[in-house]
Amino acid sequence: MTRPTLLFLHALGASHREWQRVRDHLPDIPAIALDLPGFGDRADEGYADVAAMADDVADEIRRRRLTACVLVGHSMGGKIATIVASRAAAGEAGLAGVIGVVLVAASPPAPEPMDEDRRQRMIGWVADGPIGAADAATFVDANTAAPLPAPWRDQAMADVRRSDRRAWLGWLERGSLEDWRASVGRVTIPALIVAGAEDGDLGEEAQRRLNVPHYAHAQLRSVADAAHLIPYEQPEALATLIADHVAAVAPSILPPGFLGVLRSGRVSRRTRATMLERTRPAAGIADGWPPAQREVVTALIGHILPDHDDRQDLARRVEASVLGGQGDGWRFAALPTDAEAWDRGVATLDKLTGTFAALDAEAQGEWLVRIDAGNAGIEDDGTHLSPDQMRLWFEDVRAEIVRQWVSLPATMAAIGYDGFAVGGDGPRKQGYIRAAANDAEAWQTAPDAMPAETGA
Among 183, 242, 189, residue whose Cα is nearest residue 218: 189
User: Which value, to the nearest 10 degrees, does the dihedral of the CA atoms of residues 163, 165, 168, 172 take?
Assistant: 170
Integer Cα distance of 410 and 408 in angstroms:
5
In a domain, 286, yes or no: no
Q: Which amino acid is at 128?
A: D
Residues 148 and 28 both lie in one domain: yes
pLDDT at 455: 46
If asked whether residues 434 and 363 sit together in one domain, one would say: no
Is 14 domain-assigned?
A: yes
User: How high is the pLDDT of residue 163?
Assistant: 97
Q: Are residues 245 and 260 in the same domain?
A: no
**Domain for residue 376, yes or no?**
yes
What one-character DSSP code corresponds to residue 42? G
Amino acid identity, position 402: V
Domain shared by 383 and 420, yes or no: no
Q: Are 356 and 420 in the same domain?
A: no
Are 428 and 318 in the same domain? Answer: no
Q: For residues 222 and 267, state if they share a domain.
A: no
What stretches in the chain show pLDDT beneath 70?
Answer: 1, 446-456
Q: What is the pLDDT of residue 436?
A: 86
Q: Are 73 and 65 in contact (CB under 8 A)?
A: no
The pLDDT score that the predictor gives to residue 404 is 95
* 89 & 226 share domain: yes
Domain identity same for 93 and 137: yes
The upper half-sphere exposure of residue 158, i.e. CA atoms within 13 Å in the direction of its Cβ, equals 11
**Per the domain annotation, does 284 fall within a domain?**
no
The answer to whether position 454 is within a domain reads no
Phi, psi of 194 (to 5 degrees): -110, 130
Residue 275: strand pairing partners: none
The CATH code of the domain that includes 117 is 3.40.50.1820
Residues 201 and 121 in one domain: yes
C-alpha dihedral, 170 to 98 to 312 to 337, nearest 10°:
90
Q: Judge if 207 and 331 occupy the same domain.
A: no
DSSP of 68-80: SEEEEEETHHHHH
Distance CA 101, CA 214 (A): 12
Range of the domain at 116: 5-252
**Looking at the structure, do residues 23 and 84 belong to the same domain, yes or no?**
yes
- Asked if residue 285 belongs to a domain, the reply is no
DSSP letter for 408, please: S
| Residue 389 counted as domain residue | yes
Confidence at residue 120, expressed as pLDDT on a 0 to 100 scale: 96
Query: Which pLDDT score is estimated for 448?
Result: 59
Helix (H) or strand (E) holding 302: helix 291-304
Asked whether residue 456 is assigned to any structural domain, the reply reads no
Sequence-ordered list of residues with C-beta below 8 angstroms from that of 403, at least 6 positions apart, any chain = 321, 328
- Look at residue 450 in the predicted model and tell me its pLDDT: 54
> In total, how many domains does the chain have?
3
